[in-house]
Structure 1
Amino acid sequence: MKRTIFLIFLLTAFSVVLRSQGDGGVKPEEPIEINFSAEGGFYMDEVEVEITAPGSSVYYTLDGRRPTTRSKFYSKPIVITKTSVLRVLAYRHKSKKREVGQTYFIDEPPTGFPVVSIGITPYVLFDPENGMFMKGTHAVDSLWTKPGANFWSRKEVRVHVDIFESDGSNVYNNLTGLRLFGGMSRLFPQKSLALVARNRYGENRIKHPVFGKGEPKKYKFLVLRNSGSDFRKSHFRDGLMTGLVEDWDIETQAYRPSHVYINGKYWGIYNIREKVNRYFLQSHSEADKDSIDLMEHRYISKRGDKEHYGELLSFVKENDLSIPQNYYWIQSQMEVTNFIDYQIAQIYFDNQDAGGNIKYWRPRTDQGRWRWILYDTDWGFGLHDDDAYRNNSLKFHTKPNGPRWPNPPWSTLFLRKLLENPDFERTFVNRFADHLNESFASEKVGRKIDDMYQVLLPEMPRHIDRWNLDFEKWQHQVRIMRTFAAERPFHLRMQLMDYFSTGSMRDVTVEASTGGTVYINNNLEVRQKPLQGKYFEKYPITVRAVADYGYRFVGWEGVEVDEEVRGFELELEKETYEIKAVFEKYTHPLAGKLMINEVCPYSKKTGDWIELHNQTEEIINMEGWVLTDRKNEFVLPDVEIAPNDYLVVCRDSTKFFRVFPTAYNVVSGLNFGLNKRQETLGLFSRRGAVVDSFHYSVPPTDSAFTLSLLLPTLDNGDFENWESGFGQGTPNAPNPFYVESRIKKIQTQWMQIGLAAAVVLICVLLLFLRAKEIL
């Protein structure tokens, strides 16, 4: 008995020791919970707030000041009678405390804008000697830029931030970093701000799709912009201009107007913008934020290094770019279409400060090419000149000997040199004409201005009162912008004709019947609505017909070309052209039998690739067939797909075979990349009939992944029948789910056979026993 008791005691003690080893022998302290009887938000009348924080002493402030143990001690409900930021510290002991906040808006005017509330110790912003918003004691008053002033500080401070959506819901409540933002606009009384999410304050991202669906869902940085040089004027110039080109091949910042409060005081309308940095580039491209080269101005490195750009710059300076080989090399180093669109936008806007606001970047990879970012365009659209629509910005942006500001020679070098090349010149002029016909068409831009004006109209009076502005002057600025939109295309066309000696202008109407799309200059899409545009005699334009799934291209009307020709160059010899692409319903015999089976939209190791699967019992010759992402086409060479076999089309065979050395039936040189977020792919027969079409839209990821059809018998046009898998994929082989389903099917079949055999065996055994019993 004694031994038993001793053994139980020993085991109990041992278990206690083990438990103490697991948790350090100390019971973990309960986290601090802080609850408010009334959450922050919008109230018509005063609100009473009770605070509970079990086991903690509570201190609070109502003026935005950061709470400490010297702040007011909470002992009874707080009655809030005016808009305030309630900041609370729950203190348990020196190493256990928690800081939170809530914003209460009392009897504020209703709004359709999001609202941002900032709680900050007033001294940090407004102290006459040291406040970040103030001139301070070290400013050089004799210079208009006030160098040495406090508002040029790059300091980052800890603040409380609430973001309320337009429906009044609180979508962000946290401690956040705050900096001043901008250049010369810091001289204005309403100063731009940048919010920075960091772990040392609270969370490391602002987790809310601030700009709506389709935009990033979280942000490291957000800018609250005072509209830059456009402060006291339209207050939406930059948002308008970047919005006009948001679907171009340029990185642009999203825009959304908001109301901002600082310590409960209304601070006016701020434009919420993204901050152009490595986080911005990662969220808008397939780049790795830790592996990019980001440059600005003439030759300033913001991230990565200058070496690659330095080589490109030297080549541009020292070589004749009219030589095809030199131009080809340039195209391998920079994305020429992006650069053209960037220059066209700056020229159309008549941005007089473009030379001072240049940012460009590249993914730091073997194939990474330089791209230009459009930002800070406030000096465009007639900011300082009511008649700016007349300005010859083409000459401005190609001037070889401009002043130090705004268009020094280094800022115009690339465009001047590239225009030496006739192919670049033709692409530049035709693309300019495209954009004047579509994105910059007077009616379209006018509607955009009116839409933005109507959004701001009910909200601007508060902002104007806050900063002692003039409502009529604001409306006058909008009228200037409307006039610019109406008159600018005519003057630019005249300037293009003069600068390039283009010959006469031509009127071109392009139409597509039901069942397809026409692409002009591999840029504009024409579907249900005809395009009525103006082009130039000297430069032929390209037109290309692409059928929808279930249709095929039949031929052209209004122009004499072979009916089998889907794409051609249109020489503009006549004054007027009216052409139409005709499509008809058609199901190709191989539809559903030859299909896109697997795609790899993102892999640094293999590069992009597409797998086709022949499900027939016949050999299919693919010569002349076309893979397309709608805008780009890859014509397949003389290659065959064996019955029930595969063909892989990849961008880079060297990378692909490094990962898949035993792969076979591989075609290299795919001339377009796959977007890792969304893409539409098509497979066309030689005659232009759609044999297969596939569209995907997936959440962004930084890991390699493939998309594969679940089963060969499923409709691959329905994205529900596809699965996304991380890794490099299974080219030249059945897809993972198909293999797994086959294995499961075989296992199920054998299980059924086994069960049947067991039943038979049991029955035989029972019969045997019964017979034996009878005997």
Structure 2
Amino acid sequence: MKYTTKSFLNLLLLAFASSKAINEEENILLPKFSLASGFYDEPIELEIKTSNPEAIIYYTTDGSIPNENSTIYEKPILLKNKSYEDNVYSNITNVEPSNDYVPSKKVKKANIIRAIAKLPNSNNTNSTTTTSVISKTYFVGMNKKELYFDFPVISLITDPYNLFDYEYGIYVLGKVHDDWIKEDPANANLMFFLHKGNYNLKGREAERPATIEYFPGNGDREGFNEDVGIRIMGDASRSFIQKSFRIFFRKEYGAKNLKYDIIPDNIRSDGKGLVKSYKTINIRSGGNDSKWFLFRDKVLQSLVKDRNFETQQGDIAAFYLDGEYWGLYTINENYNDNYFATNYDIDKDNVILIKKYKIEEGVEEDLETFNEAMNFIMNHDMTNLENYEKASQLLDLDSFIWYMVFNTYISNDDGIFNDRNWAMWRVRDPVPGVLNADGKWRMIVFDTELSSGIYDTNYKSIDSLMNALTEGTESSNFMGSKLLSSLLKNKEFKNSFYNAICDVKNIDFNLDTVNSVIDSLKERVDPLVYDHFIRYGKMADLEFEGPFEFDPNNPIDFKSIDSTKSTNSNDSTESTNSISDPNEFYDQQYQQFKDWLNGRPTVFLDLIAKLFKLNPAVEVTVTSTDFTKGSFQINHGKKIFEKEFKGDYFTEAILYLTAIPSEGETFNYWSIENCQFADSNTNTTNTNTNTNKLEEITVGILPNEGCKVIANFGPVSEIPTEIPTEVSTEIPTEILTEIPTEIPNDISNEVPKKVKIIKKCLKL
């Protein structure tokens, strides 16, 4: 049959009209709940109605999808406090290899009501006879402000079959694990986090339908209710009892995007306001840190969020799964093409994202382009200016420097130095005038918690960097290590690298900042950690010297919650992974993390100096004649210093300072004491010693012991009669120290007494 244009348009209009009629019919038929999802102090009755008197309402209370075999709604449903009922889903044990831990007490619970409305069977194929599922969450006898203070609460609802079924469930070991053991019985002897299970399924085949409800920190009623797709996410942490979820907003489920402020104060990467929509979000456990401090990754990323790489901002939430308390999680953005589209003015189809040599976003040709760029940098002489210039067009060198320095400082054992959690992105076609859309590869930070003393309290090691730069080690053969080794042969790169090493210690991990961040977070989460560790206990048996001594022969039960109510059938079940006092245990993890962060700056620069054969770092003071009239920046960083700064820097590197006059004020000149301005006419440390003042807004400084630099603002006073016309960009030859090819025997051990212990920075 042939269709004319007119007849085809008529068919489209008919289809649209039919679809619209069905949608209107379903809206009339949809179950309507008398109560909004939320927190209610006392038991309360819920009514469910539909506008069609012929419809039958079916509902469930266990998270399953209602059907004709479900309970028929005939009278109001009494909602009550379910926390006194026996645990169901948290009692399922086939979710982590070699760990059958279940909570020894009852976890907190919510009422989950899912309902559909259905008409008697109809022969009209254009008629809606069964509605979509409406899902609601009711926390009864629970005061949100008293329980969760200003923390948001998330309720994730899905048919338990989607998570816990032997073959289809994505949360369990299941059939995949049994088949994996059958293929090679020796697999059973592997460490638990190496085991394969249903939870390792990835892609659309591993996505299951669900409903997510979000209750904001400042309210006790739902902020949004959306039908979504969910997957298990992570690497080794997929094998843990507490697993992470990735949430997908798709038109096939409901909303195409989430337009809600789910991450408060989430500033776009380009600085142009807040992120206003999300295509995917991560509901993330602490990964390797999920049984320790819980929020290492959040703390560490927050400290470097203003540096030139992507970081994930996030918020902490209490999480419920099918009505049972599932612990504390972090909500953060997921890196994908939509992330870059919403954080920059970039078309998502123009985004290339490479993660561990695999294409996350893009096409096969993009991987070839990536490999070509990295191979050029690794295999060409970076002392050649033309090669270095090309490298700087392929890779954002500042982004790469800071990424490597950050991983070195936190001693990340699961990052680029180990060829594990690293990623890079770029736009395929440059977009003029758009930040970071120039086609250069840039770095992405994620999953940083296997670091900073989580399993090893030694803060006196830079083994990851040493191994990366030492020929013959496994790490030296990884891409990130080869890139760094090649680029460090260039004196300009090395100067920037040394400065970043000092800045990360002096500025980003300044102790006043670090202690403020970690202390305030600890204070906030303290009231919530008890329930979390009741739910999960401590880490399964691991053969390492960790922050907690495991004693499987001396299990200790949790303290009781809900002790005034009915007994729990599980109370007689003891677990070797229980913790006697969750709050005391958490205090230990907090203190260990804090001690590591406070110890790190006392030795970090000495270790670097020894590795690169540098002189001990010297203290530099930078100040202003009047901070009401002007401030300054250090090494082209974003931070603006509005009071005196003290930090330690290497004498072999040029330190760059930029003056910033206040509105209506005048910058006059820089003046120096016990240091020298960099000389543009030589490649040595010889400088114009007769010059101690310069008018340039940005100057280079060669520091010495007791160096002090002053930004002079205000009315013009005494101006030097001879001002050099240029500021040096040349690097002293002393900076061309050789990259070490052998690891000093004692560099990982105690710092020698002759090496000066770095002074603590004053509060910035």
TM-score (norm 1): 0.69
Partner in structure 2 of residue 714 of structure 1: none
**3-state SS in 2 of match to 1:497:** helix
TM-fit CA distance, 1:564: 3.2
Distance 2:660 2:527 in 1: 45
The answer to whether the aligner puts 1:584 opposite 2:718 as a matched pair is: no
63, 70, 89: which is aligned to 2:116? 89
Partner in structure 1 of residue 567 of structure 2: none
TM-fit CA distance, 1:50: 0.8
TM-fit CA distance, 1:346: 0.4
TM-fit CA distance, 1:544: 2.2
Contact 2:264-2:315 within 8 A present in 1 as well? no
Distance 2:15 2:171 in 1: 54
Partner in structure 2 of residue 48 of structure 1: 45
Distance 1:408 1:104 in 2: 55
475, 496, 504: which is aligned to 2:608? 496
Structure 1 pair 38/526, CA: closer, same or farther in 2 (3 Å)? closer
Distance 2:21 2:307 in 1: 59
TM-fit CA distance, 1:21: 13
Distance 1:329 1:120 in 2: 51
CA RMSD of aligned residues (A): 2.8
The answer to whether the aligner puts 1:539 opposite 2:653 as a matched pair is: yes
Structure 1 pair 218/407, CA: closer, same or farther in 2 (3 Å)? farther
Distance 1:133 1:20 in 2: 44
Partner in structure 1 of residue 244 of structure 2: 192
TM-fit CA distance, 1:526: 4.6
Contact 1:515-1:584 within 8 A present in 2 as well? yes
Distance 2:134 2:372 in 1: 51
Structure 1 pair 402/353, CA: closer, same or farther in 2 (3 Å)? farther
Taking the TM superposition and a 5 Å limit, the aligned residue runs for 1:697-736 are none
Contact 2:408-2:462 within 8 A present in 1 as well? no
Contact 2:632-2:642 within 8 A present in 1 as well? no
Contact 1:542-1:567 within 8 A present in 2 as well? yes
Distance 1:205 1:507 in 2: 51
Partner in structure 1 of residue 216 of structure 2: 165
TM-fit CA distance, 1:546: 2.4
Partner in structure 2 of residue 111 of structure 1: 148
The one-character-per-residue Cα deviations of 1:154-203 (angstroms, maximum 9, x if unpaired) are 21111121111112231120211111111111111111111111111111
Partner in structure 2 of residue 387 of structure 1: 458
Distance 1:181 1:63 in 2: 24
AA aligned to 1:47 is I
Taking the TM superposition and a 5 Å limit, the aligned residue runs for 1:666-745 are none
Partner in structure 2 of residue 275 of structure 1: 334
Partner in structure 1 of residue 171 of structure 2: 133
The answer to whether the aligner puts 1:220 opposite 2:279 as a matched pair is: yes
TM-fit CA distance, 1:475: 2.0
Distance 2:452 2:19 in 1: 70
Partner in structure 1 of residue 517 of structure 2: 448
Distance 2:20 2:463 in 1: 76
Structure 2 unaligned regions, length at least 5: 1-12, 83-109, 182-187, 268-273, 431-437, 539-578, 674-690, 717-724, 726-764
Distance 2:17 2:171 in 1: 49
Partner in structure 2 of residue 63 of structure 1: 62
Partner in structure 2 of residue 748 of structure 1: none
TM-score (norm 2): 0.70
Contact 2:618-2:649 within 8 A present in 1 as well? yes
Structure 1 pair 25/451, CA: closer, same or farther in 2 (3 Å)? closer
**3-state SS in 2 of match to 1:509:** strand
Taking the TM superposition and a 5 Å limit, the aligned residue runs for 1:241-320 are 241-298=300-357, 300=359, 302-304=361-363, 305-320=366-381
AA aligned to 1:290 is D
Structure 1 pair 210/25, CA: closer, same or farther in 2 (3 Å)? closer
Structure 1 pair 501/148, CA: closer, same or farther in 2 (3 Å)? closer
TM-fit CA distance, 1:259: 0.9
The answer to whether the aligner puts 1:120 opposite 2:158 as a matched pair is: yes
Structure 1 pair 426/70, CA: closer, same or farther in 2 (3 Å)? same
Taking the TM superposition and a 5 Å limit, the aligned residue runs for 1:66-77 are 66-77=65-76
The answer to whether the aligner puts 1:331 opposite 2:397 as a matched pair is: no
Contact 1:175-1:202 within 8 A present in 2 as well? yes
Contact 1:282-1:289 within 8 A present in 2 as well? yes
The one-character-per-residue Cα deviations of 1:248-286 (angstroms, maximum 9, x if unpaired) are 111011121111111111111111122122122222333
434, 437, 448: which is aligned to 1:377? 448
289, 294, 297: which is aligned to 1:238? 297
The one-character-per-residue Cα deviations of 1:16-75 (angstroms, maximum 9, x if unpaired) are xxx999978998854335422111100122221111210143221111111223322222
TM-fit CA distance, 1:568: 2.0
Partner in structure 2 of residue 365 of structure 1: 429
Q: Who wins on radius of gyration, i.e. which is larger?
A: 1
Partner in structure 2 of residue 677 of structure 1: none
Partner in structure 1 of residue 101 of structure 2: none
Contact 2:318-2:327 within 8 A present in 1 as well? yes
Distance 2:515 2:461 in 1: 17
The answer to whether the aligner puts 1:461 opposite 2:526 as a matched pair is: no
Structure 1 unaligned regions, length at least 5: 1-18, 587-624, 626-775
**3-state SS in 2 of match to 1:328:** helix
Distance 1:379 1:200 in 2: 37
Structure 1 pair 580/413, CA: closer, same or farther in 2 (3 Å)? same
642, 650, 653: which is aligned to 1:528? 642
Distance 1:78 1:130 in 2: 31
AA aligned to 1:357 is N
Partner in structure 1 of residue 190 of structure 2: 143
Partner in structure 1 of residue 229 of structure 2: 177
Partner in structure 2 of residue 10 of structure 1: none
**3-state SS in 2 of match to 1:458:** helix
Larger strand fraction of residues: 1
TM-fit CA distance, 1:225: 1.2
Distance 2:316 2:590 in 1: 16
Contact 1:49-1:78 within 8 A present in 2 as well? yes
TM-fit CA distance, 1:95: 3.1
Work out the number of aligned pairs and report it: 569
AA aligned to 1:170 is E
Partner in structure 2 of residue 734 of structure 1: none
Distance 2:292 2:17 in 1: 63
Taking the TM superposition and a 5 Å limit, the aligned residue runs for 1:422-441 are 422-441=491-510
The answer to whether the aligner puts 1:402 opposite 2:473 as a matched pair is: yes
